[in-house]
Amino acid sequence: MGPVDSARENRRVGQEIDRARFEPRDFERFARSLGHETQALGALLEGGGLSARSDVGGLEVEIWLVDADGLPSPRNEAFLERLADPNVVHELARFNVELNVRPQRLSGEGLRRLEDDLAATARACEAVAAKLGVSVVAIGILPTVSDAALCPQNMSTSARYRALNEQVLRMRSGRPIELHLVGIESLRTSHADVMLEAAGTSMQVHLQVPVALAVRSMNAASIVSAATVAIAANSPFLFGRRLWAETRIPLFEQAVDVGGPERRVTFGTSYVRSSLLELFIEIQEHYAPILPMALPAEAGRFAHLRLHNGTVWRWNRPLVGFDEDGTPHLRIEHRPMAAGPSVLDMTANMAFFLGLVAWYAQSDAAPERALPFSSAKQNFYEAARLGLSARVDWLDGNRWELRRLVLDALLPLAQGGLERLGARRDAIDRYLAVIEGRAANGRTGAAWQCAFVDRYGADFGALVRAYRENSAAGEPVHRWAL
């Protein structure tokens, strides 16, 4: 979940960082440009100048490079040079890279094309990795990553990561970043840099939305986040401790904490009321710039807004992008789901999210009227902590175990939403069958990892090697043996 998202897009619009330190005048100039661009976005929203296209989806997946023992291998420079694919780019740590899958219309064969593109990229990555004597693994938190490995020497060489580290520590007045996690076990550690963030990798789903559906879609994304973070949970261990089903959530929230009243990683404070502009105004007014670059006009419209927005990591985040003809559009980026375990699992996770949002965004009654935001937020953290066994308050006024909620209520709605998007029925059946199988036996990636340790002990190298073999075979995790 890259420090300035996404790296590929930033380079395309000229947002590559060229230095780590800035002067007061840089922040003042950046704030002015950010204000002008936020106003310009408001004018486009008011005047109907944004794209009306909808039902376009895409995704990004962050993966690990590991050696024969299942340990993180800091070789992304050599890996990326050999791969030479502009859709695979650096991440914060030298043992991570990010795969970007080209957006597709979700109707017809769109979901299957997204799966095929992700699978093809993953195969190419594995082939190049093998030539370097390493492997690639899609997993939320690599169980073998150590505290010592998360050090500045293993930070990717791009200047933007050095700049982010420098500025976060400046905002913290040099105080180390404290990590305190309490789950099944507890963990406390501190870092003098932002490398703790590199311990967690995610799959980020993008959904382009027309203005008319943007508010309902964003609020629906917030509501269904409890279900998606639980069904995709794949990060139960960090530094040898068993913590949350999806430990990435509290890890990332603390790993880039700048020490002020506003957390840079957040679920948010309320539903959107009338326009996604509310979120861009909130980001402008309440979050100090971290990377105040002076971006030239040719960097692209909304360049400062997009760069600044890339340093505030809401779990559901609004984005401004552009259609192929240059028309600006709105996207929702859904960030709670972990990477992995298999390509089919990740495509199923994406389909489940997209179907639920499509259903709730176009339902007769706005779901946010039936569930207070505080309940949606509490549901999210309970689901991240306990996975499918979490109990959540739902729209019908009842309290559900998430596993039963998925099976009895959400799968039919996801099917209906995907039908509204025009997805092929065979694709709908293929992906939702994976979600159903996972919920039916409770076998998420996190549950498989915990079961492995329960059976074989805390041999995390053996866990990663077994995980890698199962993932490479392509079977969804609910079918994996121990």
Q: Which two tokens stand for residue 228?
A: 């998606």
Residue 74: asked if its preceding bond is cis (omega within 30°), the reply is: no
Shortest CA distance to 97 belongs to which of 68, 128, 131?
A: 128
Q: How many of the other CB atoms lie within 10 Å of CB of 32? A: 11
CA dist 343 and 125 (Å) reads 13
Question: What's the sign of the alpha-carbon dihedral 268, 274, 277, 281?
Answer: negative
Residue 328 belongs to a domain: yes
Residue 482 belongs to a domain: no
Q: Which two tokens stand for residue 339?
A: 């990477």
Collapsed DSSP state (helix, strand, coil) of residue 24: helix
Instruction: Indicate which CATH number applies to the domain containing 262.
Output: 3.30.590.20
What is the four-CA torsion angle of 421, 427, 429, 432, rounded to 10 degrees? -70
Residue 2 belongs to a domain: no
The angle formed by the CA atoms of residues 10, 142 and 136, to the nearest 5 degrees, is 65
CA dist 282 and 196 (Å) reads 26
DSSP 337: P
CA dist 45 and 56 (Å) reads 19
User: CB under 8 Å, gap of 24 or more: what pairs does 373-376 form?
Assistant: 373/222, 373/268, 373/269, 373/270, 373/271, 376/222, 376/223, 376/225, 376/226
CA distances to 84, 168, 174, 194, 363 from 164, rounded to whole Å, are 25, 6, 13, 8, 41
DSSP 406: I
Collapsed DSSP state (helix, strand, coil) of residue 287: coil
Q: Are 216 and 360 in contact (CB under 8 A)?
A: yes
Q: Which two tokens stand for residue 454?
A: 């329960």
Phi and psi at residue 169, to the nearest 5°: -70, -35
Collapsed DSSP state (helix, strand, coil) of residue 201: coil
Can you name the residues that pair with 399 across neighbouring β-strands? 393
Q: How many CA atoms lie within 13 A of 461 on its CB side?
A: 4
Collapsed DSSP state (helix, strand, coil) of residue 443: coil
CA dist 129 and 82 (Å) reads 9
Q: Are 57 and 205 in contact (CB under 8 A)?
A: yes
- What is the pLDDT at residue 8? 47
Q: Are 64 and 98 in contact (CB under 8 A)?
A: no
Residue 1 belongs to a domain: no
CA dist 386 and 52 (Å) reads 39
Collapsed DSSP state (helix, strand, coil) of residue 318: strand
- What is the pLDDT at residue 300? 60
DSSP 229: H
Residue 408 belongs to a domain: yes
Residue 409 belongs to a domain: yes
Residue 239 belongs to a domain: yes
- What is the pLDDT at residue 301? 85
Please identify which residue in the block is written with the tokens 């899958």: 101
Q: How many domains does the chain have?
A: 1
CA 280 to the chain's CA centroid: 19
Q: Which two tokens stand for residue 167?
A: 């500025």
Question: What's the sign of the alpha-carbon dihedral 68, 70, 72, 77?
Answer: positive
Q: Which two tokens stand for residue 327?
A: 């028309």
- What is the pLDDT at residue 389? 98
Q: By residue range, what is the domain housing residue 131?
A: 7-477
CA dist 59 and 231 (Å) reads 17
Tens of each residue's pLDDT in the chain, 482 residues: 444 444 444 444 434 566 667 889 999 999 999 999 999 999 999 999 999 988 899 999 999 999 999 999 999 999 999 999 999 999 999 999 999 999 999 999 999 999 999 999 999 999 999 999 999 999 999 999 999 999 999 999 888 888 888 888 888 888 999 999 999 999 999 999 999 999 999 999 999 999 999 999 999 999 999 999 999 999 999 999 999 999 999 999 999 888 777 789 999 999 999 999 999 999 999 999 999 988 876 556 899 999 999 999 999 999 999 999 999 999 999 999 999 999 999 999 999 999 999 999 999 999 999 999 999 999 999 999 999 999 999 999 999 999 999 999 999 999 999 999 999 999 999 999 999 999 999 999 999 999 999 999 999 999 999 999 999 999 999 999 99
CA dist 274 and 42 (Å) reads 12
CA dist 136 and 332 (Å) reads 28
Residue 463 belongs to a domain: yes
CA distances to 101, 200, 238, 466 from 470, rounded to whole Å, are 23, 20, 21, 6
